[in-house]
Amino acid sequence: MGKPSGFLEYDRKNNAAQEPMERIRHWDEFHPLLERAERQKQGARCMACGVPFCQSGMMLSGMVSGCPLHNLIPEWNDLVYTGNFEHATQRLLKTNNFPEFTGRVCPAPCEASCTCGLNGEAVTIRDNELGIIEDAFANGWITPRPPRVRTGKTVAVVGSGPAGLAAADQLNRRGHLVTVFEREDRPGGLLMYGIPNMKLEKKIVERRIELMKAEGIQFVTHTDIGRDKESRELMENFDAVLLCGGAKKPRDLNVPGRELDGVHFAVDFLTAATKSLLDSGGKGLVQITAQGKNVIVLGGGDTGNDCVGTSIRQGCKSVVQLEVLPQPPSHRTDSNPWPQWPLILKTDYGQEEAIALYGMDPRSFQTTIARLLDDGMGNLKAVRTVQLEPKIESGRRVMVPVPGSEKELPCELLLIAIGFLGSEAYVPQAFGAQLDERGNVKTKDGTYYTGIGNVFAAGDMRRGQSLVVWAIAEGREAAKEIDAHLMGYTNL
């Protein structure tokens, strides 16, 4: 380990954040990196545990504990402390293709399981990861490295989100010729259009795409496999096909008034906002806008929070975020011990901004929507909410309406952010792949193979809605399996 007493001498320090009233004026990232000397202190806090739970990637009580990529966290924390950032970069890239993404958007299950956090504050692992990779880019250590030898084998990757990009990167390193198909106008999938610019600036995604192009990966955009191009063409013209189309079928709201104008899925709202920003710097026509409107976001997760932050930057009149579940506790309960993921109340950036702007937390817990009300011309004008309470029915806890608790809230824009129901069926159906009961692509037990010809699947399309870090892990493992399928062995 770096400094045996580091965790006793130095306090945890995160990357700073601009004040909410300052950052809502722009769409850029707002967490400047620490200076190198301070970053080294944060690396020194790592205890190099005998059993480093931070890199375990275990599932405990249905939640991930530690890094699914099994990042070599104690190793590169020690290298950060000693100032050997170039070697730290090599150790980081050994397990993670895109630390510049995970260092910005990962919820850091590694930190939740950090031993230092058992009786104090966890090591700033995610910020250290981001510091390492951005230092590497700044110093010119990240350059195109095309494979020296090509195998002659060809692979088509359908979808350019984190799983597709990770698989493409791995397969290209092995020497296979990789073509990535993307239905949108820009590569990146979720990274490009599912995550707002203030969390992940699109120039960061574009920087990685350009690097991958320089290494020999071909990207084909505006191509919707199963609609614009037949699946048969891919199966016949490529030695292997990997489906990484994500879990993009949104869960809908089934209440009276759903058909009114002004009701949209969160993913469509966030996509429209990013496209406007990229195409015209935010000054052009936005297909769906919160400007001047009372906005209600249904859903208390990360996507709902992103809708809050985006609505504020677009100039909404007000914003309320509804969450069906009860408010979490402020500290771990006895039933949620370390190193499980902590089920505690967290106030994210969008909620911080709403508090600063409107003077109150936008979240309303144990609340859902019972009816949508129109203005007489087919437009949404208000929502009728109802409070919920937990009850045990048939041995399960369910949330049921509280009689007489209805309220009406003004609303001209309702954003539905209540999760996803698996992949859009037309892509796997075009290849003859089956879906499981959750709407995900079925693969052979313990594999990424669909059982259909030369077709594999990975990422959210196979796993269901999950984290970027899980998608990268799935893409890497699928690439390993495809490589063995093509070559008879794998060294990935």
pLDDT one-digit tens code per residue, 75-112: 999 999 999 999 999 999 999 999 999 999 999 999 99
pLDDT one-digit tens code per residue, 260-299: 999 999 999 999 999 999 998 777 678 899 999 999 999 9
Residue 1 has pLDDT above 80, yes or no: no
| Omega cis (within 30) before 339 | yes
Model pLDDT, residue 320: 98
pLDDT one-digit tens code per residue, 413-458: 999 999 999 999 999 999 999 999 999 999 999 999 999 999 999 9
Assess contact for 315 and 290: CB atoms under 8 A.
Answer: yes
Amino acid at 293: K
Return the structure tokens found at 485. 């399928």
Inter-CA distances, 199 with 139, 190, 193, 319, 416, Å? 23, 12, 12, 19, 20
CATH 3.50.50.60 boundaries in the chain: 154-248+421-487, 263-416
Model pLDDT, residue 4: 87
The architecture (CATH level 2) of 154-248+421-487 comes to: 3-Layer(bba) Sandwich (3.50)
Give DSSP secondary structure letters for 59-127: EETTEEES-TT---HHHHHHHHHTT-HHHHHHHHHTT-S-HHHHHHH---HHHHT-GGGSSSPPP-HHH
CATH class of domain segment(s) 263-416: alpha beta
Could you give the CA distance from residue 12 to residue 119 in angstroms, rounded to a whole number?
13
Residue 2 has pLDDT above 80, yes or no: no
| Alpha-carbon torsion, ordered 164, 166, 246, 456, to 10 deg | 60
* Residue for token pair 């052979």: 444
Going by pLDDT thresholds of 50, 70 and 90, the confidence category of residue 119 is confident
Going by pLDDT thresholds of 50, 70 and 90, the confidence category of residue 44 is very high
Return the structure tokens found at 42. 């944060």
The values of phi and psi at residue 384, to 5°, are: -105, 115
Could you give the CA distance from residue 252 to residue 416 in angstroms, rounded to a whole number?
7
168 closest CA partner among 202, 216, 229, 228: 216
Could you give the CA distance from residue 483 to residue 174 in angstroms, rounded to a whole number?
8
465 closest CA partner among 440, 448, 430, 429: 440
Average pLDDT for residues 372-387, to the nearest whole number? Answer: 97
Could you give the CA distance from residue 246 to residue 164 in angstroms, rounded to a whole number?
9
Higher pLDDT: 134 or 62? It is 134
Average pLDDT for residues 385-404, to the nearest whole number? Answer: 93
Average pLDDT for residues 348-373, to the nearest whole number? Answer: 98
Q: What is the CA radius of gyration of the chain?
A: 23
Average pLDDT for residues 7-12, to the nearest whole number? Answer: 94
- The strand pairing partners of 294, in sequence order, are 318
Residue 395 has pLDDT above 90, yes or no: no
pLDDT one-digit tens code per residue, 307-340: 999 999 999 999 999 999 999 999 999 999 999 9
Return the structure tokens found at 273. 């906002």
Assigned fold of 6-138: Fumarate Reductase Iron-sulfur Protein; Chain B, domain 2 (1.10.1060)
167 closest CA partner among 458, 463, 452: 458
Model pLDDT, residue 50: 87
Other C-beta atoms within 10 Å of 290: how many?
26
Assess contact for 326 and 365: CB atoms under 8 A.
Answer: yes
Model pLDDT, residue 129: 98
Residue 149 has pLDDT above 70, yes or no: yes
- The strand pairing partners of 365, in sequence order, are 323
Return the structure tokens found at 227. 């609609």
Assess contact for 163 and 244: CB atoms under 8 A.
Answer: yes
- Whole-prediction pTM: 0.96
Could you give the CA distance from residue 222 to residue 183 in angstroms, rounded to a whole number?
5
Lowest mean pLDDT among 13-22, 115-124, 216-225, 360-369: 115-124
Going by pLDDT thresholds of 50, 70 and 90, the confidence category of residue 236 is very high
Mean pLDDT of the chain: 96
Task: Give the CA count within 13 Å in the CB-facing half-sphere of 462.
Answer: 30
427 closest CA partner among 266, 239, 246: 246
Return the structure tokens found at 173. 């390193």
Could you give the CA distance from residue 414 to residue 295 in angstroms, rounded to a whole number?
6
Could you give the CA distance from residue 192 to residue 180 in angstroms, rounded to a whole number?
15
Amino acid at 77: N
Model pLDDT, residue 281: 79
Inter-CA distances, 396 with 392, 399, 402, Å? 5, 10, 18
CATH 1.10.1060.10 boundaries in the chain: 6-138
Parallel/antiparallel/unpaired status of strands 413-416 and 455-457: unpaired
